[in-house]
Amino acid sequence: MLINTRNNGMDLVDLRTLLPYQQMLGANGEYIIQPQTFYQQDKEALVTAGYPYNWDYNLVQESRNKNNRATDRSLTAVAGLTYRLFKGLVFNSSYQYENYNSGTEILQNEETYFTRNTVNYSTSVRNGVMTTAIPKGSIFSTAESKLQSHTFRNQLRYDGILGNPLHELSAIGGLEIRQVTSQSSNMTKYGYDPNTLQYANLNYANGYTNVLGNQAFIRDATVFTDVKNRFVSVFPTQDIRSMTNIP
């Protein structure tokens, strides 16, 4: 099964940022500035002073520039064998394979407030010199997860009548072996150019001074995981019932 989705547009979380009766577009379709992060006058003063990006926020503009994509793939296959060894004794063997892959891509281009705010927030002026820790360009994030499992199950079942006096015997015994492998990866690239697929190499180890004059670090979202688990189970059970009362 393959599912491709695009999570773009507005959602309830976005709409909660709106003030009552607040307009988003003007009479000619222009974006109306909405409050976000800092006072608008302070942001405009910083942009006039040379900060990298326009710092205006508008929800419609955000919605039009979203570019999020998610992909899900899943596959399940089952095979089985049943063999009667002799009267009352049956052998069952089965195998199940599962494979699941999911991935998301989030491209925040230079028109999104997220990117403009991130870059501007990482900018500071010291001794008359303006420094920006995160370069201009899009911010691109990806996440991928994979899960693969193999399950083997062998089982013997006996149903018969034994003994004197007679007893009805039902017994099941088996072995199941299962292996599950899961892998995941996440990364975020700054200063990303979707046309050339180039991005900036940043210094994640050393901090920088942000717009508030505080020390901060660039978040390195690069994570790789690879986990393999194996399970073994044995399941014996039996049931004996007397048949002396059966005519």
pLDDT for residue 247 is more than 60: no
Return the pLDDT at 17: 72
Is 139 in contact with 115 (CB distance < 8 Å)? Answer: yes
pLDDT digits (tens, 9 = 90+) for 61-114: 988 998 899 999 999 999 999 999 888 899 999 999 999 999 999 999 999 999
The larger pLDDT score, comparing residue 21 to residue 8, is at 21
pLDDT digits (tens, 9 = 90+) for 206-244: 889 999 999 999 988 889 999 999 999 998 887 777 666
Return the pLDDT at 235: 87
pLDDT digits (tens, 9 = 90+) for 90-105: 999 999 999 999 999 9
